[in-house]
Amino acid sequence: MGSFNQFKKMFSTHLKLTIREKQAWFWGIFFPVILMVVFMVIFTGDSDDEFSSEIAIVNEQPNPTSDMVLNQIKQIEILDIKSDETVSRAQAEDWVKEKEVDAAIILPESADATSITLIVNKENEQGVTAQALSGILDKFIQQANLFVAGATPTYEMKFESISSGSTELSYTDFLLTGMIALAIAQGGMFGMIDLVEMRRKGLLKRLRMTPANMGIFGLSDMTMRLLFSIVQIILLSLIGVFVFGANLYINFLSLLVVFLIGALTFNALGYFFSSFSKTTEAYMGMANIVNFLMMFLSGVFFPVETMPGWLQPLSNVLPLTHFAEALRQSMAYETSLFSSTLWLGIGTLVLWGVVAFTAGALLYKRKSIVAVR
């Protein structure tokens, strides 16, 4: 039988096995889609709305200082005062406790008083709104201090962002590219389960005794998985762009290189897991542990920079961290293939892939020798 005919038959066999494998479909297609939709709905539903917060004002003992502060607070457009009239502290605290307002501001009780109090709900103390209000009030107090001292601000901060690409990244774009990376990684890590079954049933040993070319066997399996990964990219991209309004600016050459190397790397990890797993349960257990570890530590849902400092070195070692970042550069930033930052991530993926494949091959070879003896 010719090599091409062998390839066609083996590819068809691998395709049928994958279609019949429910776990591969779940982890490769349905799980990433469900996860992406959940996170998109939670974190991007109101992402385009301007920040605003409803507050209560307490001014129980009006005085020139409190009146001046109140007038200044009313000029802050993003602060919506619940009542046109100031309220008592007890009433304001009740509103905060019942979460009818985001916070209450207690104005100075005399002309000589120097403190302004911000009251927030303890349950929301670490929330984005409470932190934003604290920052706004702190900046307001700094400006008031300068005004009282008669000082004119000399310096101001201007914010700019640059990247090796040509576009800005929204959270929707960030999450979409992260979920695509996760889906491809899961497809590789969970996709080698059929090798465990084939080895357990003795099919691999029988296959070696036939005229079948084992290199073509591996090539056909790899080709099928790459096509499966292409389906993942297209499906998730369509959902992200047309359902959630994500923006993709793709450098197709960069994407092609990153995709091929990333998919091969995680296929190598799956191959490594299969080399020492005696049962499908053992294989799935190992793949699940690694998958969930990387899912939450590799910057799929949130930037690595927001993690605790002691955890970031671990995140920067994981292959999914570099794969997700490389996909963002090629799919959202339109980064050129000749970018040094892109190749740093690609180099890390290649290293992971080579080590995983070599270790897996050695374990398979060792077991074959032991079986012969």
Residue type present at position 157: M
- In 3D space, the residue among 102, 110, 111, 98 whose CA is nearest the CA of residue 134 turns out to be 102
Query: What is the per-residue pLDDT for 1?
Result: 54
Regarding predicted confidence, which is higher, 246 or 166? 246
CA distance linking residue 242 with residue 171, whole number of Å = 16
Phi, psi of 93 (to 5 degrees): -65, -35
User: 212-248 pLDDT, tens per residue?
Assistant: 655 566 667 777 778 878 888 888 888 888 888 888 8
- The model's confidence at residue 18, banded by pLDDT at 50, 70 and 90, is low
Query: What is the per-residue pLDDT for 347?
Result: 93
Taking CA atoms, 287 is separated from 208, 339, 358, in Å, by: 27, 32, 18
What are the residues facing 118 on neighbouring strands?
A: 105
Domain 53-149 has CATH 3.40.1840: no
Phi, psi of 57 (to 5 degrees): -110, 130
Given a cut of 90, whether residue 355 has pLDDT beyond it is: yes
Extract long-range pairs of 210-214: CB within 8 Å, 24+ residues apart.
Answer: 211/1, 212/6, 212/10, 213/3, 213/6
CA distance linking residue 20 with residue 156, whole number of Å = 62
Q: Is 257 helix (H, G, I), strand (E, B) or coil?
A: helix
Sheet architecture: strand order including 103-106? 79-81, 53-58, 103-106, 117-120
Tokens 């309004």 sit on residue: 245
In this prediction, residues 297-311 reach a mean pLDDT of 85
Taking CA atoms, 143 is separated from 36, 74, 152, in Å, by: 42, 15, 10
Query: What is the per-residue pLDDT for 215?
Result: 59
Q: Report DSSP state, residue 87.
A: B
User: 88-146 pLDDT, tens per residue?
Assistant: 888 888 988 888 888 888 888 887 777 888 888 887 777 777 787 788 778 777 777 77
Query: What is the per-residue pLDDT for 159?
Result: 58
Query: What is the per-residue pLDDT for 24?
Result: 63
Do residues 272 and 360 touch, judged by C-beta distance below 8 A? yes
Taking CA atoms, 242 is separated from 39, 65, 238, 246, 306, in Å, by: 16, 53, 6, 8, 29
Do residues 6 and 213 touch, judged by C-beta distance below 8 A? yes
Taking CA atoms, 82 is separated from 50, 103, 135, 163, in Å, by: 18, 10, 20, 42
Beta strands 53-58 and 79-81, pairing class? parallel
Q: What is the mean pLDDT of the chain?
A: 79
In this prediction, residues 364-368 reach a mean pLDDT of 66
Which distant-in-sequence residues (6+ apart) come within 8 Å of 363 by Cβ? 272, 275, 276
Regarding predicted confidence, which is higher, 354 or 190? 354
CA distance linking residue 10 with residue 8, whole number of Å = 6
- The model's confidence at residue 157, banded by pLDDT at 50, 70 and 90, is low
The whole model's pTM is what? Answer: 0.68
CA distance linking residue 24 with residue 270, whole number of Å = 12
Query: What is the per-residue pLDDT for 369?
Result: 42
